[in-house]
Amino acid sequence: MTEQAARRPATQVTAVLRSAGLRVTPQRQLVVEVLQGAGARHLTAEDVYREVSERYPGFNRSTVYRVLDLLTSSGVVSQHRLGGSVAHFELTGAGVHHHLICVDCQHVFDLDGAELRELGRRVQRRTGFAVGQVAVTIEGRCAACRSGASG
């Protein structure tokens, strides 16, 4: 690791890992930092790899997958399949994960989860299904594409 990592408050990242019961390694810190930096955006493993490689050239692709997998099963990170074949990742806790995907521009919009939490509760009551993660993916055309295109 270089001193680069020190540019962000490492203590916070460290705390995230420790509280999940995970060992703290430079690689894991970097992955968490990159995900933090992405905010509400959804990164693919390749996205993470690219960003992380800029700061740490030796970083290996399989390590990205292993770290993302570990973080996912620890609940630190949420994984989504947004319709396509590639997985997307984002830090858990950035709200509930609902997505609007525009079939034209492929852009992913986030949808506020408030009214959807209510949905989860209703489902649980009716089906006895202990609702964990609710992932809503809505395909359609965004306002911009609708006004710009023929539709």
Partner DNA sequence: TTCGTTGCAAATGCTTTGCATCCAC
Partner DNA sequence: GTGGATGCAAAGCATTTGCAACGAA
- Does 141 engage in binding with a second copy (CB under 8 A)? yes
54 vs 5: CA distance, rounded Å: 12
- Does 17 engage in binding with a second copy (CB under 8 A)? no
Cα 4 from chain centre: 23
Which of 21, 39, 143, 150 lies at the binding interface for a second copy (CB under 8 A)? 143
- Given a contact cutoff of 8 angstroms between Cβ atoms, the answer to whether 33 and 13 are in contact is yes
> From residue 31 to residue 70, what is the string marking binding to a second copy with x (rule CB under 8 A)?
----------------------------------------
149 binds, among DNA, a second copy, none (CB under 5 to 8 A by kind): none
- Given a contact cutoff of 8 angstroms between Cβ atoms, the answer to whether 86 and 42 are in contact is no
Residue 14 Cβ vs DNA, minimum distance, rounded to whole Å = 8
State the residues that interact with a second copy by CB under 8 A. 81, 83-85, 87, 100, 102-103, 109, 111, 115-116, 119-120, 122-124, 127-143, 146, 151
